[in-house]
Structure 1
Amino acid sequence: MSEPTEASEPSETGGAAATAARGAQLLGGEDFSFAAAIGGPRGFVESILPGLVFVVAYITVGGFQVPVIASVVVVVAMVAARLIQRTPVTQALSGVLGVALGAVWAWRSGDAGEYFLPGLWINAAYLAAVLITMIVGWPVVGIAVGLLRGLGTSWRKDRALRRRMQLATAVLAATFLLRLVVQVPLYMSDNVAALGTAKLAMGVPLFALSLWVMWLLVGSVGRPQAARDQPQQT
């Protein structure tokens, strides 16, 4: 089984690099670990805590100043904790950009709902980029699996494999689309509490589920038959 790694996901704006690296590693592996997909216990906490604190502060206090300040303080505290413990700060820092962008946006507008706007734009950009790779016939999942498993571009010569790579990439696109379909109406209706809750639920948990489905579709590509016959680890 893959060992859990501490890496924070997604905040869409901040954890992109960590998310892509972790997802690619799991897609290229021989088995799948949900613990690794969520970034390990500490990575999971670090990825959701700023958003959770923002939502709780908004519900209990209201306004935009206290929720924004609280989320920023949490991120700073997480980074400081890793510095004190002399553990890699990359995991905590990966969410700093997302929180910073949201905080600046909300502070400038004086609207707590604007905290979530950068994430919506980033999801839209990701969706567009993934769809382009599918349209041009180079689905991003196929490229990643080909590189990680030493297949190069040989998978493109097999029609069945191309379809599997397209389907797996479509799952990734659907993840970004679903976030937008659910969260944009909440943003437009200024339902900040529901938007924050939806963002949390559709961050790490949805990412891990989507990654598992993608792995089921492409996990056996390029592996020996004996490895394919082994029980799948989750």
Structure 2
Amino acid sequence: MTDGAEQDARAAARETAEPSQGAGARADGRLAGHGVLGPARGGIRTGQRGLGLTGGAIAALAVAAIVAVVRIATRSSIQPAISGFFGVAVCVVIAMLVGGNGKGYFLYGIVMQAVFAVAFAVSLLVRRPLVGVLWHLFSERKQDADGAAPDAGAAAGQHDWRADRRQYRAFAWLTVLWFVMFVVRFGVQYYLYVGDNVGGLGVARILMGWPMFAVGVLITFLVARRLTHAHGE
């Protein structure tokens, strides 16, 4: 008799609790449906995203500032540190303007890849390969800084390198190399940006940043140096 009474009491308690829980769940659903809880939850998620972006921005700017201080203390040029500081600041501002999400931080870099690709393509169309123009410009400035007077052959090579078919063709292909590099960077990162793949954007920025740039510079230096030396001889 006692066991039966206890079972009846437990069953009655469950029947009393279940309607209350169901009513609470239905009430929560009605509130969400009427837009009461939805904005609150969205605000929490937005706040978390903004906090993450703000924290990352502060960390990046702090590192840039530390680098600048170290360069000042070692009496080194602070121009790279200043450029990096403003580069990070621009990326952060753009990220805030496009919604405060993490992927917005990469938008400036993606756009710049497209700008560089267009610049190199236009230089080919106007028959002034940008790699050749920059190479000879820096060569002239280096000679001026060293105070060395170039011989007649070298001076002629500086001013009419486009008349040399071999040089022109080589610098044109080097310009195509850089054009392809910028197009690949833009295509991959834009695809990841549209797909909201922030982690992939970070990896792509690292792998396609300095490593790819260093390879391009090395190839350009070896080919251009060999060309100009051969022309001078």
TM-score normalised by length of structure 2 = 0.65
Amino acid of the residue matched to residue 111 of structure 1?
N
Deviation string 1:172-193 (CA, Å, 9 cap, x unpaired) is 1112111112111111111111
The runs of 5 or more residues in structure 1 that have no matched partner are 1-61, 228-234
For 1:80 and 1:201, the matched residues in 2 are separated by 28
For 1:224 and 1:171, the matched residues in 2 are separated by 22
For 2:105 and 2:175, the matched residues in 1 are separated by 29
In the TM superposition, structure 1's runs of 4+ consecutive aligned residues that sit over 3 Å from their partners are: 224-227
- Identity, % of aligned positions: 30
Counterpart in the other structure of 2:100: 110
Counterpart in the other structure of 1:209: 215
The higher relative CO (CA closer than 8 Å, separation ≥ 6) is in 1
Amino acid of the residue matched to residue 115 of structure 2?
A
Counterpart in the other structure of 1:170: 176
Deviation string 1:182-218 (CA, Å, 9 cap, x unpaired) is 1111111111111011111111111010112223332
Counterpart in the other structure of 2:133: 143
Deviation string 1:14-38 (CA, Å, 9 cap, x unpaired) is xxxxxxxxxxxxxxxxxxxxxxxxx
Counterpart in the other structure of 1:128: 118
Change in CA separation of 1:87 and 1:160 when aligned onto 2, cut-off 3 Å: closer
Deviation string 1:64-101 (CA, Å, 9 cap, x unpaired) is 22222211111112112222333221121121221011
Q: How many pairs align?
A: 167
Displacement of 1:154: 2.1
Amino acid of the residue matched to residue 81 of structure 2?
A
Q: Determine which structure has the larger helix proportion and give its number.
A: 2
Amino acid of the residue matched to residue 164 of structure 1?
A
Does the 8 Å contact 1:183/1:198 carry over to 2? yes
User: Who wins on radius of gyration, i.e. which is larger?
Assistant: 2
Displacement of 1:225: 8.3
Displacement of 1:224: 4.8
CA-based RMSD of the aligned residues comes to 2.3
For 1:70 and 1:80, the matched residues in 2 are separated by 15
Does the 8 Å contact 2:111/2:186 carry over to 1? no
Change in CA separation of 1:120 and 1:77 when aligned onto 2, cut-off 3 Å: same
